[in-house]
Structure 1
């Protein structure tokens, strides 16, 4: 492994984590029986940061149900996993944010209830998946702090937040008597390097908050089998509705994929491994990043832990292979990101209204 040692909640942790979304939130998810060996293999390979969600699937089959099954089958793994759960959506499983105290209590209690009969009775990090545009997140932070003080949560995470919200939340959490925000979850990949330019990663660096980077493979686009046209995606696949995966921009967006593939061939790795290694390589790295006001400055990056998802052991083993890029290789990929910027928003119009809140 690389010399940079990530820490979360004062625990040494692996440089790569594991996203659980695809195991329960897709048109035809795998069975729990098939998913549990994949999760076990991810943990064996050092991916001990697991990221799930109350709304990753319907109310009767989401991440929490799967985790209950896993920790029932493997009780000794409870202390090995740093579990981060997103919630704060509507009771019907819709991820629309509702940060009323009543709903935050409901969401946390529901998630904890799934684990109460397992060896993993607490959640290490709980984060509201989005900032409620009507209420903000101050009340949610107050409620979550109560659970941390009661020993039911290990810490409070943030998800899809702006630089301004990161700083305000860090201040608020400390005022509530906690050490600070535990982590910030953001999207970061060669296809979506936005946080390098809009001040979000800079704010995490300034506040010394670790980052969980989701979709480091651009939802499967950064692979040896690129998405060349929208119809390549299965019926019912959410990517069919996302701007970056439409026929009119895919040729442009695949320029960075094809360039990364060439680097991968020379490196003796897969495109996915190079894409993940670039995200992972930002941890502790000194580089130029953008601020909210558009200015640029050189900073040492915070801990950045990619959390790629995978629903097969073969893919988990590919994604979690220990591929480390040199600074020269990282800079080459930085140059390609600048040269081949992708087109299209991260989400459809409605989804964009609740990102970077």
Structure 2
């Protein structure tokens, strides 16, 4: 396993991180035993970065990670937590809260559920429209001083918000969707992060399975949010799967899988970028880890660019209501 420095002031983390969200009921039913076995296999392979959110199935995901880390030393994992999403008992979403007092409250519960005395990277999952980012970052900075948090990160925010956050406390990484078919970060945000010495943890590198080479029409089952996601519907899906077929030809010529090409492409965009893969099963994890052995030549990169040109995806990243919550997509950065 190779390691990458996360931002100028951040920790060294594995070149690939494990995004744990899918292990807790967002893509349909998941299997606890297999999820834990997958986390164990990742740690054994040298993966150190585990990414979660306190609102992933209302705390279930953190409890799952705690279970998987039993018997390990605390230093075996670098735990990254997003906070602030508000849920109701039916699993519905009811807004976002990043007030300083809420921030400290969420942190207290996360520490307890994870069974740890500090969190490596703590970040608001979205920009709270009612709270200046300086106040949220200031509250986390208090928690850094108190030893409960090691580093501060951001998620899905635009350049102006990033600059305002950095003025309060060093930021180690921005977590944002980045993949062959979601390249909005290239329009200014990536440049801002590089200027400020902020790393990128890229989620959605397989676009939630869409460009994994495993997705087929009518596959979204009950409880799978992709059934409502714009890119997975109707003609959008047909057009997007046609892009995957074009990638498939490149992958076959190299003797690798589509998923491996997609992950390798993100990894190749810079030493400051760490892709997060949402493997929920050991076989998918093994496939993802195989991407680290794929070297893309300049010819490969050009062929991939022709197969999936920037902006080629059909449909938005999220449904309209959720797009409204993305500071990273606001105004000129859209």
C-alpha deviations, 1:34-65, integer Å up to 9, x for none? 32111011122222111001011134xx2211
Task: Tell me the C-alpha RMSD between the 2 structures.
Answer: 2.0
Q: Give yes or no for contact 1:281–1:330 (8 Å, CA) kept in 2.
A: no
Residue 110 (structure 1) shift:
0.7
Which SS does the other structure have where 2:152 is aligned?
strand
Rounded to whole Å, the distance in 1 between the matches of 2:28 and 2:242 is 30
Which SS does the other structure have where 1:232 is aligned?
coil
Structure 2 unaligned runs (5+)? 329-334
Q: Does 1:245 align with 2:242?
A: no
Q: Which residue of 2 aligns with 1:104?
A: 103
Q: Does 1:75 align with 2:72?
A: yes
Q: Which residue of 2 aligns with 1:355?
A: 326
Rounded to whole Å, the distance in 2 between the matches of 1:110 and 1:135 is 21
Q: Give yes or no for contact 1:22–1:29 (8 Å, CA) kept in 2.
A: no
Q: Give yes or no for contact 2:180–2:310 (8 Å, CA) kept in 1.
A: no
Residue 122 (structure 1) shift:
1.2
Query: Residue 312 of structure 1 is aligned with which of 267, 281, 296?
Result: 281
Q: Which residue of 1 aligns with 2:210?
A: 221
Cα distance change on mapping 1:10 and 1:139 into 2, 3 Å: closer
Cα distance change on mapping 1:241 and 1:344 into 2, 3 Å: same
Q: Which residue of 2 aligns with 1:291?
A: none
Q: Which residue of 2 aligns with 1:190?
A: 180
Residue 29 (structure 1) shift:
3.7
Cα distance change on mapping 1:124 and 1:244 into 2, 3 Å: same
Aligned residues: 321
Cα distance change on mapping 1:282 and 1:95 into 2, 3 Å: farther
TM-score relative to the length of structure 1:
0.84
Q: Which residue of 1 aligns with 2:253?
A: 266
Q: Give yes or no for contact 1:123–1:153 (8 Å, CA) kept in 2.
A: yes
Query: Residue 65 of structure 1 is aligned with which of 63, 66, 91?
Result: 63
Q: Does 1:206 align with 2:195?
A: yes
Which SS does the other structure have where 1:125 is aligned?
strand
Query: Residue 268 of structure 2 is aligned with which of 277, 281, 284?
Result: 281
Query: Residue 326 of structure 1 is aligned with which of 291, 297, 304?
Result: 297
Rounded to whole Å, the distance in 1 between the matches of 2:48 and 2:324 is 32
Rounded to whole Å, the distance in 1 between the matches of 2:243 and 2:162 is 30
Q: Does 1:126 align with 2:122?
A: yes
Q: Give yes or no for contact 1:51–1:83 (8 Å, CA) kept in 2.
A: yes
Which SS does the other structure have where 1:172 is aligned?
coil
Rounded to whole Å, the distance in 1 between the matches of 2:117 and 2:310 is 48
C-alpha deviations, 1:218-266, integer Å up to 9, x for none? 1111123333x3x221122111111111112122222321111111001
Rounded to whole Å, the distance in 2 between the matches of 1:31 and 1:252 is 32
Q: Give yes or no for contact 1:253–1:340 (8 Å, CA) kept in 2.
A: no
Aligned counterparts, 1:76-95, within 5 A = 76=73, 78-90=74-86, 92=88, 94=93
State which drifts further: 241-250 or 86-95.
86-95
Which SS does the other structure have where 2:327 is aligned?
coil
Rounded to whole Å, the distance in 1 between the matches of 2:113 and 2:182 is 34
C-alpha deviations, 1:291-319, integer Å up to 9, x for none? xxxxxxxxxxxx11110111111110001
Q: Does 1:36 align with 2:36?
A: yes
Cα distance change on mapping 1:283 and 1:351 into 2, 3 Å: same
Cα distance change on mapping 1:142 and 1:22 into 2, 3 Å: same
Q: Give yes or no for contact 1:88–1:95 (8 Å, CA) kept in 2.
A: no
Q: Which residue of 2 aligns with 1:290?
A: none
Residue 126 (structure 1) shift:
0.5
Q: Does 1:140 align with 2:130?
A: no
TM-score relative to the length of structure 2:
0.90
Q: Give yes or no for contact 2:29–2:223 (8 Å, CA) kept in 1.
A: no
Rounded to whole Å, the distance in 2 between the matches of 1:115 and 1:340 is 39
Q: Give yes or no for contact 1:83–1:124 (8 Å, CA) kept in 2.
A: yes
